[in-house]
Structure 1
Amino acid sequence: MNRERAAALGREPHGSSDDPDLLDFSANANPEVPEGVERAYRAAFEAARTYPPEPPEAFRRAAADYVDCDPEQVVPTPGGLAAIRAAVALAVDEGDTALLPAPSFGEYAREVRLRGGEPAFVDAERVLDADPSGHALAVVCTPNNPTGTAYDRDALLAFAERCRAAGAVLLVDEAFLGFTERASLAGSDGVVVARALTKLFGLPGIRTGFAVATGDLGAALRGARRTWNLSAPALATGEFCLRQDEFVRETRERVRRERERLRDALAERYDVAPSEAPFLLLDVGDRDVDRVIERARERGVAVRDARSFRGLDAHVRVAVRRPAENDRLLAALGVGGGGAGEGGSDGDGGVESDV
């Protein structure tokens, strides 16, 4: 990694608000956590007085069961982004190009540039039709952030085969796949899968995730992994969460139901992209995006400014939370009973028309 290049690269913008007075719809973490996870975290204190097991076999077995692969193929990482960095670092050398979807997670391009590579962007909706020839790496995010597009498994496998034939590593970011019924690509040859506990289990601050890869690629990821790269509490909570099948089922159903309710309501005023993720992308049309965001904040809600995603210039992204919270989002965006907006009161006798 080049020192000057790293110093020159700025940080990518992300969702999440630390304002306690705002209900946060700008980040996509589950507002619920599995019952018992706090006990699992606290119980790990005694284990934290010694180094974690190396390799952490119990965590690897839980992760393998979760995505249906061989435990030997699991490489524990401190969050999904660490898995992404490891894959990019092994695939991309100075002067290489990487096929990246757009709009999508901005960290892909940043990691490629850190290695001296050059992003080659392709429309996220047509990424599986792209030609990986000549590229060291191809990336697919499924469901894609921020559009919510999930890709057909057979089409993904066909793309993976084309990547293998072209000598390109395929990185599949499955950060949001747990919210769907779709099967993971974990264990597919030539593919690195990145997963995390951040989104589905509502634990972004624990920093627990893993990569999955086979063959020489898997061996390289295992060899590059730092010893003790996850703490004892991270391993314990990760293992616990990955076994919570009923929590996963309940979360999927709640998100599916609430996402469709939100989409139907928001479609009255905004162009809403179809989604299989725990978020929705809204095209606000000719409304001023800054004004939309500010008016939502004034009503106690934080939404994600999606203009930082490549190719989006009139968009915000909103998470799917619990029913009562989602009602507050609708009101803040001028939709639903009594909500501010065209034809709705702003709560002090006025009428708003710019939200």
Structure 2
Amino acid sequence: MDPDTVEALRAASESDPHVDADGRVPHGSSDDPNLLDFSANTNPAVPTGAARVFSAAFASSRSYPADDYAGFRTAAAEFVDCDPQQVIPTAGGLEAIRLAIQTTVRAGESVLVPTPSFGEYAREVRLQGGEPSFVRHDALLDSDPAPHAMAVVCNPNNPTGESYDAAALRAFADRCRAADTTLLVDEAFLGFTDEPSLAGREGVVVARSLTKLFGLPGVRTGYAVASGAARDRLATARRAWSMSEPAAALGAHCYRDDDFVERTRERVDTERARMRERLATRFDVYPSDAPFLLFEVTDASVDDVLLTARERGIALRDARTFRGLDSHVRVAVRTPADDDRLLEALDV
């Protein structure tokens, strides 16, 4: 990274409350074993046999992994319905996002970035010397992509939870392609829905991971999907051995567990509806298609809600760290027993 970019990031941290002194973006997740974590949106369950597959791959870790990752690519491609050659393995979804931006955005170029949404998009754009052009997430598909090198869409959007209309998103993808603007679609939570992926569509780069749907954030397994020239740029720029052998084996195992995915979707749908109904008796709750709910606090301060929950053994996500939100909290959808504890702790 050149010195000018480093200085720009530091300047952004001084003027932007959504990043820290090193330009880092705050995220959810608690490592306190005494707290029930509702601040991170990862599945509380993992596929049957996941630990066995990961352990069995330990012996192969004594050697470098085969850099083509054929088994993982095939399983991931079947899951999102694309060609295995279009799958670019990465160490987590965020690396896929960085790879896409790094190979597309040049210094001085602008990128359409949704707000409120995942804070890493703007950070990654600035790392390349680009300039985020913030647009409300629910108005982004109405934007003109032509002046921008890239447009970013989070589907479903984090932290609000809504999915984009599939036909409108495809139409926007077509407009981006016509304008020679790369469309980056972060599908971190799309697996919780039955909506089709945009993987393999010309002019689109999709980012995915095992983190959310399969409850495995620490394994750091993800991938980008692209076609044509975008795919060639990603494949060229990808680091050699970008995924460990145990991570690749575990990824292939997870993506073939259709029953686990279906059970997860059913549980999340049922619990999300129940939680939203209860939370709405006290808070203004956003509609959601994702494994989390965002609500606005109107009867107390956010600090009071966070502190009360923590005193009752529960960690919530302070959503004020998202651009454009100033009185909001986000909570994950977990198991029925966990969700009951949350609802009791919030007095709803």
TM-score, with normalisation over the residues of structure 1? Answer: 0.93
Query: How far, CA to CA, are the matches of 1:314 and 1:97 in structure 2?
Result: 29
Q: Of the candidates 65, 68, 79, which is equivalent to residue 55 of structure 1?
A: 68
Q: Distance in 2 between matches of 1:333 and 1:2?
A: 47
Cα separation, partners in 2 of 1:46 and 1:170, compared to 1, 3 Å? same
Q: In 2, distance between residues paired with 1:91 and 1:270?
A: 41
- Paired residues for 1:271-282 under 5 Å: 271-282=284-295
Identity %: 63
**Paired letter, 2:208:** R
Aligned to 1:222: 235
Partner of 2:154: 141
Aligned residues of 1:2 and 1:115 also touching (Cα < 8 A): no
Give SS of 1:91's match: coil
What residue number does 1:6 align with? Answer: 6
Q: Which amino acid letter does the alignment assign opposite residue 300 of structure 2?
A: R
Secondary structure of the 1:205 match is: helix
> Following superposition of structure 1 onto structure 2, how do residues 204-215 of structure 1 map, counting pairs within 5 Å?
204-215=217-228
Q: Which one scores higher on RCO, CA 8 angstroms, separation ≥ 6?
A: 2
Offset at residue 194 of structure 1 (A): 0.2
SS in 2 for 1:296: helix
Q: Deviations over 1:6-41 (max 9, x none)?
A: 373421000000111100000000000001000000
Counterpart for residue 233 of structure 1:
246
- 1:209-254 Cα shifts (integer Å, max 9, x gaps): 1100000100110111111110111111111111110000000000
Matches within 5 A, 1:1-355: 1-3=1-3, 5-6=5-6, 8=10, 9-335=22-348
Partners in 2 of 1:6 and 1:143 — Cα distance? 31
For each residue in 1:148-184, what CA deviation from the matched residue of structure 2 results, as whole angstroms up to 9, or x when unmatched? 0101221111101111111211000000000000010
1:91 Cα deviation (Å)?
1.3
The TM-score normalised by the length of structure 2 is 0.95
Cα RMSD, aligned residues only:
0.9
Equivalents in 2 of 1:3, 1:261: separation in Å? 51
Q: Quick one: distance in 1 between partners of 2:94 and 2:144?
A: 25
* Contact 1:278 1:319 (C-alpha < 8 Å) held by counterparts: yes
Distance in 2 separating the partners of 1:182 and 1:61: 20
Instruction: Kindly indicate whether the alpha-carbon contact (under 8 Å) linking 1:174 and 1:195 is maintained by their aligned counterparts in 2.
Output: yes
Cα deviation digits, residues 259-290 of structure 1 (max 9, x gap): 00000000000000000000000100252111
d(CA) in 1 for partners of 2:137, 2:189? 16
Q: Deviations over 1:20-75 (max 9, x none)?
A: 11000000000000010000000001111111112111110001001000001000
State the number of aligned residues. Answer: 335
- The one-letter code of the counterpart of 2:273 is E
Contact persistence 1:262–1:326 (CA under 8 A): yes
Which 4+ residue blocks in structure 1 deviate beyond 4 angstroms?
none
Letter of the aligned partner of 2:69 in structure 1? P
Could you say what secondary structure the match of 1:125 adopts?
A: coil
Task: Tell me the CA shift for residue 320 of structure 1.
Answer: 0.2
